[in-house]
Structure 1
Amino acid sequence: MNGRAPDGGTGVTAGRGQAVLGLALIAVPLLLAVAGPWFAGEPGPRGVSFTTGQGHWLGTDFTGRDVWRQVLLGGRSVVLTAVTATAVAYLVALPVALAAALTHRAWLEELLIRPLDVVLAVPSLLLLLMTAALFTPGPVGLALIVALINVPDAARIVRAAAAEAAARPAVEAMRMQGESWWRMAIGYVGRSALRTLAADAGVRLTGTLYLVATAAFLGVGVAPDAADWAVMVDHNRTGLFVQPWAVVVPAVLIVALTTGTNLLFDAGLARPGKRGKRP
C-alpha cells in the first residue's frame, strides 16, 4: 500500500481539470462583460439588416447594427443583473434560514418559513410576469425581482443544511456559555453548511442567468433594442439562417458562462479538505 487516500489522486486531478475547464469557459464572457464597453467605440452608420461583410466581421443584426459592437456592449447587463440578484437573494435568505434553524420556538420558525412557501408555490416565470405587470422595472428592479424569486428556495436549502449542525450539543453548549447569536449562526452553524451553500450557489447563479435571459426575451426590465446578449438571441433569431452570428455568438457566451460557473463550483467542492469535524 502506498498510503494515499483512496480518492486523493483521482479527486484532485478531476477537480483541477474541472477548474481549468471552468476558467477557460468563463474567461471570455467575463472579459467581454467587464471590459467590452470600453472597446466598443462609437456606433457607426447602420447597414442593411442581417448582412455579412461590408466592414462588419460578425455581420449586422436585425436593425443593421454591428454585431461585434453589440457583443462588446451586451454582457455587462446580463452578468451584473444575475450576480446582483444572486447576492441579494442570499443576503436575505441566509439570516432567515439560520434563524429558523437555530430557534427553539416553533411559531417563529413557521413565521419565517411559511411566507416563503407561498412565494415558492408560484411558478417563477409567472411571478416575474405578474411583478413586471405592476410596474416597469429597470435593471435594478429586474435584479430585485429575480432575487425575490430565488429567496424561498435558497432559504429552504440553507435551513435544511444548517438544521443538523444546529441540533448538535456544541450549539447548546455555546448557548449556555452566553455566546452571541451571530457567533453561533455564522461562526459554527453557517460554516457547517458552507459546502451545501457552495453547491447551491453554482446552480442558483446558473438559474438566475437563465431567468434574467428569459426576462430579456420577454422584454422585462430591458429595452427591446438594448445591447444585451439575451435580447440579441431573441430579436435576431428570425435571421438565424441568413446571418447566424447575431444569435450564435451571444448564445454561446451565455452557455459558456453558466457551464463554466458550475464547473468551478464543482471543482471547489471536489477539493479534499477538512470536512468539518464534529466536536
Structure 2
Amino acid sequence: MSDTLQVGIAQRVRQQPLAAFGLVLLVIFITCALFAPWLAPYDPAQLNLTSRLMSPSPAHWFGTDALGRDILSRTIYGARISLIVSVSVVGLSLAIGLVAGGIAGFYGGWIDTVMNIYVTNAFMSLPGILLAIAFVAFMGPGLGNVILALAISGWVGYARLVRAQVMAVKEREFVEAARALGASDLRIMCRHVLPNILQPLIVQGAIGMAGAVLAEATLSFLGLGVPPPAASWGSMLNDARAHLFDAPHLVFFPAVAVMLTVLSFNFIGDALRDLMDPRTRLTAGL
C-alpha cells in the first residue's frame, strides 16, 4: 500500500514538477512564518547603527539595512505578515463573494440585476488597488485595515464566479429532486449546490493569494501597510530605494521573497486547476 502511494506521488511529481516546486516553496514560507522567533538570528527591529548597510557576511547572511537591522530576520518575519494577509484577504473575500454571488445566482430576478449589474460593475469600474489605497489612506495604515481594504476590492471576482457556478448547478436534476422533496433553500444551497462549486473556488482562492501578497507589498511600499517597526517585504523595498546602487542587497532579498511566494501560489493554483478539470485529467492521463 505504501509502495503504491509512493509510486503515485512520484508519478504526480514528475507530471507536475512546477507544482511540487511551488509546494516546497510554500512549506518553507509557512515554516518561516510559524517559527520566525526561533529561525530569525536577530530581533528584526533591533537597531545597530555601527553595522548599517553591511554586505552579506557570515554574521549577517543577507546583510543589514540603513538602520543596522538584520535583513534575514526581517525577511523571515515578513513572511508572517504576507501569509496572514493573503489567507485573511482570500478568506474574507470568498465569504463575501459566496454570500453575494450565491444569493444572486440562486434567486435571480431583481436581486441578480441589482447585484450583478449595479453593485459588481460599480466595484469593477475602479481598479482594485486604487480602491484599496483610498480605503487605507482614509482609515489609516494597519494590518486589519489592509486586510479589510483588499477584501473590499477583491470580493467581486469571487461573487461573479459563485453566481455563474450557482446558476449552472441549480438547474440540475438532483437540485430539482431535493426541491421536490421539500428541502429548504438553505439546505439546497449548503448540501447540494455548494459542494458542487467548490473546485473552481479553491483554484481561484489559490491564485488570489498570490495577488494578495503583491497587493500587500504594494501598499507597504507606498507606506500604507503595516506601520513600522513591523517587518514587511513592501516596506523593506521602500526603505531600500535610497540605497539601490550602493547597497543593492537591500532590494534583492525582499524582492526575491515576494517573487517566490507569488510563484508558489501560482504554480499550486495551476496544478489544482489541472487536477480538478476532468478534461485536463483525461488529456494528461491522470
TM-score by length of 1: 0.85
Amino acid in structure 2 at the alignment position of 1:182: L
Structure 1 residues 173, 61: CA separation in 2 closer, same or farther (over 3 Å shift)? Answer: same
Task: Report the CA distance between 1:12 and its aligned residue.
Answer: 4.5
Q: Match for residue 130 of structure 1?
A: 134
Q: Match for residue 204 of structure 2?
A: 200
- Higher mean C-alpha deviation, range 92-101 or range 139-148: 92-101
Residues 80-113 of structure 1 show CA distances to partners (whole Å, capped at 9, x for unaligned) of: 012111101111111221111111x511222333
| Structure 1 gap segments, 5+ residues each | 1-7
Q: Match for residue 51 of structure 1?
A: 54
Query: Take 1:233 and 1:136, find their aligned partners in 2: how far apart are those partners?
Result: 20
Q: Match for residue 237 of structure 1?
A: 241
Amino acid in structure 1 at the alignment position of 2:66: F
Query: Take 1:150 and 1:238, find their aligned partners in 2: how far apart are those partners?
Result: 32
Say which of 91, 110, 113 aligns to 2:113: 110
Query: Take 2:76 and 2:232, find their aligned partners in 1: how far apart are those partners?
Result: 9
Do residues 256 (structure 1) and 253 (structure 2) align? no
Q: Match for residue 213 of structure 2?
A: 209
Q: Match for residue 4 of structure 2?
A: none
Do residues 149 (structure 1) and 116 (structure 2) align? no
Query: Take 2:125 and 2:37, find their aligned partners in 1: how far apart are those partners?
Result: 39
Alpha-carbon contact 2:124-2:156 (below 8 Å) kept: yes
Structure 1 residues 14, 177: CA separation in 2 closer, same or farther (over 3 Å shift)? Answer: farther
Q: Match for residue 5 of structure 1?
A: none
Query: Take 1:144 and 1:18, find their aligned partners in 2: how far apart are those partners?
Result: 32
Amino acid in structure 2 at the alignment position of 1:18: L
Structure 1 or 2: larger helix share? 2
Query: Take 1:238 and 1:191, find their aligned partners in 2: how far apart are those partners?
Result: 51
- Higher mean C-alpha deviation, range 49-58 or range 189-198: 49-58
Query: Take 1:156 and 1:94, find their aligned partners in 2: how far apart are those partners?
Result: 9
Task: Report the CA distance between 1:34 and its aligned residue.
Answer: 1.8
Structure 1 residues 162, 47: CA separation in 2 closer, same or farther (over 3 Å shift)? Answer: farther
Q: Match for residue 282 of structure 2?
A: none
Q: Match for residue 159 of structure 1?
A: 163
Query: Take 2:13 and 2:78, find their aligned partners in 1: how far apart are those partners?
Result: 35
Structure 1 residues 236, 101: CA separation in 2 closer, same or farther (over 3 Å shift)? Answer: same
Task: Report the CA distance between 1:188 and its aligned residue.
Answer: 2.2
Structure 1 residues 228, 273: CA separation in 2 closer, same or farther (over 3 Å shift)? Answer: closer
The alignment partner of 1:63 has SS state of coil
Task: Report the CA distance between 1:198 and its aligned residue.
Answer: 2.1
Alpha-carbon contact 2:213-2:262 (below 8 Å) kept: yes
Query: Take 2:174 and 2:91, find their aligned partners in 1: how far apart are those partners?
Result: 30
Aligned length: 267
Amino acid in structure 1 at the alignment position of 2:237: V
Alpha-carbon contact 2:94-2:158 (below 8 Å) kept: yes
Amino acid in structure 1 at the alignment position of 2:73: R
Identical columns (%): 27
- RMSD (Å) for aligned C-alpha atoms: 2.7
Alpha-carbon contact 1:29-1:256 (below 8 Å) kept: no
- Higher mean C-alpha deviation, range 64-73 or range 263-272: 263-272
Residues 159-191 of structure 1 show CA distances to partners (whole Å, capped at 9, x for unaligned) of: 112211112233222222111323322332222
Do residues 228 (structure 1) and 259 (structure 2) align? no
Task: Report the CA distance between 1:245 and its aligned residue.
Answer: 2.5
| Structure 2 gap segments, 5+ residues each | 1-7, 280-286
Query: Take 1:176 and 1:251, find their aligned partners in 2: how far apart are those partners?
Result: 56
- Higher mean C-alpha deviation, range 37-46 or range 27-36: 37-46
Structure 1 residues 23, 165: CA separation in 2 closer, same or farther (over 3 Å shift)? Answer: same
Alpha-carbon contact 2:169-2:193 (below 8 Å) kept: yes
Query: Take 2:154 and 2:86, find their aligned partners in 1: how far apart are those partners?
Result: 11
Query: Take 2:222 and 2:15, find their aligned partners in 1: how far apart are those partners?
Result: 37
Say which of 85, 93, 109 aligns to 1:81: 85
Task: Report the CA distance between 1:225 and its aligned residue.
Answer: 4.8
Alpha-carbon contact 2:129-2:153 (below 8 Å) kept: no
Structure 1 residues 74, 37: CA separation in 2 closer, same or farther (over 3 Å shift)? Answer: farther
Do residues 265 (structure 1) and 269 (structure 2) align? yes
The alignment partner of 1:51 has SS state of coil
The alignment partner of 2:50 has SS state of coil
